[in-house]
Amino acid sequence: MIHTGSLLHDDVLDASALRRGVSSAPAKFMIKLSVLGGHFMVSRASVALVQLRNLEVTHMLSRSIQNLIEGEMKDAIQAAADDITIRLDSAKRSRKHQDRWNTYLQKSYFKTESLMARALRAIAMLGGCVQGEIWREVAYAYGRNSGIAFQVSCHTLFDTTDGSDLLNL
């Protein structure tokens, strides 16, 4: 529910007419309803978290909501700074391109990987793993790595304009 709420907000902030090839919620249902729908989803997720009665899990996943907002802020700042396209297969990457890639990875952590990593860690915790057990960290690492793979693959598949190997960061 947190992720779905963030997607509704993301489409509003990006003024996206499409999400994965179909009309986005703001394009179909109005911006105001998309914002309210995103707020509703995140607030319902927060209520569900409290009902778990596990303070550590609730705190950890609440941080993911904070990270989503930080990621959107980084996204907005990056978009305002300049709009460059990086060629993934380029042998020569300037320092600016490397900085841009690092910023992209950090933003992706906040917007996707943080939630995936912490959600998987929460599953391990709710399944009985206690502080210090390796499975918590294994779950977190798997979620973090799956999150970055998801982000990069989505940008590569859906954000290229002409099917080329360009990744618009």
Structure tokens belonging to residue 51? 């009902």
Q: What is the mean pLDDT of the chain?
A: 84
- CATH fold of 53-169: Farnesyl Diphosphate Synthase (1.10.600)
State mean pLDDT over 150-165. Answer: 61
The segment(s) of the chain belonging to CATH 1.10.600.10 are 53-169
Of 50, 7, 52, 22, the closest CA to residue 158 belongs to 22
38-75 residue pLDDT tens: 999 999 999 999 999 999 999 999 999 999 999 988 88
